[in-house]
C-alpha cells in the first residue's frame, strides 16, 4: 500500500513561520511560540480529532475606513485638498485589501486552537482541508479502529 502524498500548508502563527502538513488523515503542526525564547510546538493529530474548523477571509480594512472618515472630516472643515488626499489613500488601501485579503485557517482540537495565517499559494489546499474536515464533522465519521493483536 502506497503512502498518501503530503500536502504542506504554510503561513504564520505566533508572528513566525509555521506549517501544517496533511498526509491522509494525519495532521502535523509545526510552529514556534514565544518572542524572546522560541519554543518548538510540534503537534501530531488526525482530522477526526478536530472538533471545529474555520476559514476566515478578511477583505475589509479598518485603517481604510478610518482614513476615509478623517478625509471627510477634513473636507467638511474646508481643507479640501488634504481631505481628498485622505480619501484617495483610503480607496487605494481598501482596494489593496480587497485584492490581497488576509486568510486564516483555524482548527479546534478541544484543548487548543491552531490558527494559521495562510500564504496565498496555499489557499486551495487549505480550503480543501476545511471542506474535508467539515464533511467529516457533518457525517460523524470516526477513524477506523486499529486491528486487534493476536
Say yes or no to pLDDT of 148 above 80.
Answer: no
Q: What is the mean pLDDT of residues 27-36?
A: 90
Whole-number Å distance between alpha carbons of 3 and 45: 17
Cell numbers found for residue 77? 472643515
pLDDT digits (tens, 9 = 90+) for 37-79: 889 999 998 888 889 999 999 999 999 999 999 999 999 998 9
- Which pLDDT belongs to residue 24? 86
* Strand order, beta sheet including 52-58: 39-46, 26-33, 16-23, 6-13, 113-118, 102-108, 52-58
Say yes or no to pLDDT of 150 above 70.
Answer: no
- Domain 6-58+101-139 belongs to what topology? PH-domain like (2.30.29)
What residue segments make up the domains of the chain, in order of their start? 6-58+101-139, 62-99
- Predicted TM-score (pTM) of the model is 0.78
Amino acid at each position: 500500500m502506497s503512502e498518501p502524498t503530503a500536502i504542506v500548508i504554510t503561513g504564520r502563527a505566533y508572528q513566525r513561520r509555521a506549517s501544517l502538513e496533511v498526509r491522509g488523515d494525519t495532521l502535523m503542526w509545526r510552529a514556534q511560540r514565544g518572542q524572546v525564547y522560541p519554543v518548538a510546538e510540534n503537534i501530531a493529530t488526525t482530522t477526526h480529532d478536530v472538533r471545529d474548523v474555520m476559514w476566515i477571509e478578511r477583505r475589509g480594512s479598518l485603517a481604510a475606513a478610518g482614513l476615509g472618515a478623517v478625509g471627510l472630516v477634513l473636507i467638511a472643515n474646508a481643507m479640501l485638498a488634504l481631505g481628498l488626499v485622505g480619501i484617495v489613500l483610503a480607496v487605494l488601501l481598501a482596494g489593496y485589501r480587497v485584492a490581497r485579503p488576509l486568510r486564516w485557517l483555524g482548527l479546534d482540537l478541544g484543548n487548543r486552537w491552531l490558527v494559521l495565517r495562510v500564504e496565498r499559494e496555499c489557499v486551495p489546499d487549505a480550503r480543501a482541508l476545511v471542506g474535508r474536515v467539515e464533511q467529516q464533522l457533518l457525517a460523524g465519521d470516526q477513524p477506523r479502529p486499529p486491528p486487534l493483536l493476536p
